[in-house]
Amino acid sequence: MLDQSSKTRQKILDAGMEEFQEKGFRDASLRQIVRNASVTTGAFYGYFSSKEALFTSIVEPHAAATMGRFMTAQTDFADLPREEQPAHMGKESGECIAWMIDYMYDHYEPFKLLICRSDGTPYENFVHNMVEAEVEYTFRYMDVLRSLGRDVPELDKNLCHMIASGMFDGMFEVLRHDMPKDKAKQFIAQLQEFYIAGWTKIMGQ
């Protein structure tokens, strides 16, 4: 059973979740969070140093888990022997995306805060950071293809950033539209097929 301190902390977390979901971080009211949690402002500061600290406590475990899994997929692919990488294109990323769909639906409310309600916090760059990593590893893969004798054209980094942004922004649209998980899985699978086909064409594979 939770002791009184743990119960109070949970009440603040629940009130914060509600306020952040409704208004986003930037417009959320600390006064309203305190009121909804039925605690004093002084009590709030006994658990969290600021509104941002409360937001962080809600979303950071999910940001860390997701970014960690994403980077593992990137490095696992990059660590494959060069000659094996073309046959694996899309495999590691597909497994990662499947994991991400399950994860974000298993932790729907805090994950939606991370993606849709984080303006004004360091987390507003979460998707951008994933895109930057995707672009970096895409260029590494193109270098591998060239080392294998493939005729891969020189691509502008801004173009690659636009393509990767389109993929990730499209994937997280399912949260913005509160799409049911089964439909989200179907749409994201089709989106991934579209982008893999596009990359394959661009890279001359």
Per-residue pLDDT tens for 183-194?
Answer: 999 999 999 999
- Cβ neighbors of 60 (< 8 A, separation 6 or more) are none
Instruction: Determine whether 100 is exposed, middle or buried from the number of CB atoms within 10 Å of its CB (0-12, 13-18, 19+).
Output: buried
- Alpha-carbon span 146 to 172, nearest angstrom: 32
pTM: 0.91
Q: Which two tokens stand for residue 138?
A: 């895409």
Are residues 8 and 47 in contact, defined by beta-carbon separation less than 8 angstroms? yes
Contact status, residue 34 vs residue 41, Cβ threshold 8 Å: yes
Q: What is the C-alpha separation between 109 and 86, in angstroms, rounded?
A: 37
What is the average pLDDT score of the chain?
94
5 falls in which pLDDT band (50, 70, 90)?
A: confident
Local confidence band at 89 (pLDDT 50, 70, 90 cut-offs): confident
* Interacting residues of 43 by C-beta distance below 8 A, sequence separation 6+: 8, 34
% residues pLDDT > 90 (the chain): 84
For the stretch 13-35, pLDDT in tens is: 999 999 999 999 999 999 999 99
pLDDT over 80 (residue 127): yes
* Token pair of 72 as six digits: 């593992």
Write down the pLDDT at residue 160.
93
pLDDT value of residue 1: 44
Residues 94 and 75: their CA atoms lie apart, in Å, by 14
How far from 117 is each of 18, 34, 114, CA to CA, in Å?
11, 19, 6
Q: How confident is the model at residue 205 (pLDDT cuts 50, 70, 90)?
A: low
Residue with tokens 């306020």: 19
